[in-house]
Amino acid sequence: MNTKMLQIYFTIMLLLQIGPVLSQGHAKHTETRLQKLEILLDRQQSINKELQIEISECKSMKDKKRQNSPTAVAFSTQLTTHLTGLGHHAAVIFDKVILDTTSSYNNGDGVFVVPITGIYVFTWTVSVGVDDWQNTELVVNGIPYAYTKVDSGTGSDYGSGTQIVVLKVNKRDHIWIRTGNTGNGVVDGKTFDTYSGWILFPME
């Protein structure tokens, strides 16, 4: 063998000896990495399970809250009759219920009972016929917060008064329309008069 052949021979021998050592080391390294990855995967899977449990708990809590607290509150009523002989601070009872999403308005006494604490909008209209006049007010638990004043003249005169008010009211508060301190006790409903309210946003 010449020198070149010898060099090639030794190189091959060296590679044959080192090869298995290198591949053994590589396999060991890969195995260690795999074990680490398996541990990480196990941890991740248990975290995922915990998160799934928490998510389902949150969902059921949200559903329960929705069931207990109706947030879509709106009612709309109308006075179809002609009221006479109303004294001071007498309830104006709007007899026809057009809309009441939470069944919170009672057309027997004209009271809307707040189903959930929040900011609400209330509006009402009161009309009078020839030569009648009447003040009305919106009361929360008997305390007035807004007023209308309507006074028609003689002849073929008539008029309507409308008011709108935004209030923070609490669950179970009673809200209704009543006559004020002045007026001749006549409210000319006949579908011209309405009392409505709706929630802007809940505060619970």
**Which stretches of the chain bind Ca ion, using CB under 5 A?**
133, 151
**Residue 192 beta carbon to Ca ion: minimum distance, rounded to whole angstroms:** 17
For Ca ion, the closer CB: 2 or 181: 181
**Residue 160 beta carbon to Ca ion: minimum distance, rounded to whole angstroms:** 14
CA-CA distances (angstroms) from residue 106 to 23, 38, 95, 146? 86, 65, 9, 21
For Ca ion, the closer CB: 149 or 174: 149
CA-CA distances (angstroms) from residue 94 to 38, 87, 167, 200? 71, 16, 21, 23
Q: Which residues contact 183 (CB under 8 A, 6 or more apart)?
A: 86, 88, 132, 133, 134, 135, 136
For Ca ion, the closer CB: 70 or 159: 159
What is the C-alpha to C-alpha distance for residues 95 and 8, in angstroms, rounded to an integer? 110
**Residue 188 beta carbon to Ca ion: minimum distance, rounded to whole angstroms:** 13
What is the C-alpha to C-alpha distance for residues 145 and 121, in angstroms, rounded to an integer? 12
For Ca ion, the closer CB: 11 or 184: 184
**Residue 123 beta carbon to Ca ion: minimum distance, rounded to whole angstroms:** 24
**Residue 131 beta carbon to Ca ion: minimum distance, rounded to whole angstroms:** 6
**Residue 159 beta carbon to Ca ion: minimum distance, rounded to whole angstroms:** 9
Q: Closest residue (Cβ) to Ca ion?
A: 151
For Ca ion, the closer CB: 104 or 188: 188
For Ca ion, the closer CB: 133 or 198: 133
